[in-house]
Amino acid sequence: MTKTHQLVDVFSNPGTLEVYFKDGDIFDLKSCNVIDHSIYKLTGGWCCNVEAYLGNNEKKKKLFLPNSLVDIYENGIVKVVEKATGKILF
């Protein structure tokens, strides 16, 4: 855990993570890297590789293709599951 990132232990997981967001979006993500607080002045930012967008938004299905990148923020996350085991990490 750092001052600006609470989920370091979760996002350091080398496998695919199923991440659920407050707005209803669901992503399969992997290889997440910290977004330095100094860039946007926001805490808890991560840049992750998209494995799959699992939500219902058609525009996002076209935008977030496999192997694309997405910036996410911890304050929007409601649950993180390790895809391979089904273990809830957050």
CATH number of residue 13's parent domain:
2.30.30
Q: DSSP string spanning the chain? A: --SS-S-HHHHT-SS-EEEEETTS-EEEEEEEEEPPHHHHS-SSEEEEEEEEE-SS-HHHHHHS-TT-EEEEEGGGEEEEEETTT--B--
Alpha-carbon torsion (42, 60, 49, 81), positive or negative: positive
69 is a domain residue: yes
Q: What is the pTM of this model?
A: 0.91
How many structural domains compose the chain?
Answer: 1
Block means of pLDDT (10 residues each) for the chain, 90 residues, are: 80 94 97 91 94 95 96 97 96
